[in-house]
Structure 1
Amino acid sequence: MSGPEQRIEELGLKLPPVAAPAGAYIPAVRTGSLVYTAGQVPFVDGRFPATGKVGAEVGVEQAQELARICTLNALAAIKAEIGDLGAISRVVKVVGFVASAPDFTGQPQVLNGASELLGEIFGDAGRHVRSAVGVAVLPLDAPVEVELIVELG
């Protein structure tokens, strides 16, 4: 087991099976030394733990946990593409989308769930640039969606 995968286990977490795409795309693609994931929603055993808008039906703490789930789903897609998360030399970028109530402005706090998890797993190599975007709605009424870009080394 590689360092990142061992760290995931030490955190009491596990990588889920890769979710089947909901459209005409693939979960992850490698180009050169980079791997890009498709947007990952917080599926757990084929369903969402919560749906709706953050700042209305979903609170910030729950949305942070959903962002962590999205991140684990993205890491599972990367592992399926490259075989071993130990091949990741750094997390380059996180893009997060938050289905937001009209007056909700805490998107960065929600995406801290993803960013902090990556730091816990990869240490300094998990530090990244990030975009946190509020949107009106996400597929299947997901509250959060996360994309990752990682570099292999």
Structure 2
Amino acid sequence: MTSPEERLAEIGLEVPAVAKPVAAYVPAVASGDLVFTSGQLPMRDGELMVTGKVGGEVSAEEATLCAQQCALNAIAAVKSVVGDLSRITQVVKVVAFVASTPDFTGQPQVANGASELLGTVFGDAGVHARSAVGVPVLPLDSPVEVEIVVRVAG
């Protein structure tokens, strides 16, 4: 059986360093057998991948890649708390916020960038409940923000 990190490597990705918080919070916190991440932005090498509104300056395709990066950053945040990603037994919930123009209605497709990555990395344990929400603005003018909740084995 391959590890989550090996499955990431198979698709050309790796767990990044934990993104530094942009305000007064921590990237993730454990409570019992659950780990909750803070909202993760599409930070790569310390910078947002793109800025702007989906349906305006940011295409749906770019936003989907941003959602994938957000999920990757969420995985890093979870790993910083649990140490070994193989301890994740279930991705329980994903919430994707999409800063979009008023006429953009493709938030669920954008959120698939995160959901599909989690499914690839965690297999059956990556099947989750999800909300995809359109919002007028996100921190730093990010087009996407994703938070996850996972269950871990003791």
Q: Do both proteins adopt the same fold according to a TM-score greater than 0.5, normalized to the shorter chain?
A: yes
Q: CA deviation at 1:102?
A: 1.1
Cα deviation for residue 104 of structure 1 reads 0.6
Cα distance in structure 2, aligned partners of 1:77 and 1:6: 18
How far does residue 49 in structure 1 lie from its aligned partner after superposition? Answer: 1.7
The percentage of counterpart residues that share the same residue type is 62
- Which position in structure 1 is the counterpart of 2:11? 11
Q: Which 5+ residue runs of structure 2 have no aligned equivalent?
A: none
Match of 1:38 in 2: 38
Runs of 4+ with >3 A deviation: none
For 1:115, the equivalent position in structure 2 comes to 115
How far apart, in 1, do the equivalents of 2:125 and 2:113 lie?
17
Q: Which residues of 2 match residues 114-153 of structure 1 at below 5 A? A: 114-153=114-153
**Structure 1: distance between partners of 2:145 and 2:49:** 13
Structure 1 residue 93 and structure 2 residue 96: aligned?
Answer: no
Q: Deviations over 1:70-125 (max 9, x none)?
A: 00000001001110100000100000000010111110010011001111111111
Let me know the Cα RMSD of the aligned residues: 0.8
2:25 partner amino acid: Y
Could you tell me which residue of structure 2 aligns to residue 72 of structure 1? 72
For structure 1, the residue ranges without an aligned partner over 5 or more in a row are none
Cα deviations across residues 122-143 of structure 1 (Å, max 9, x unaligned)?
A: 1111000000000000000000
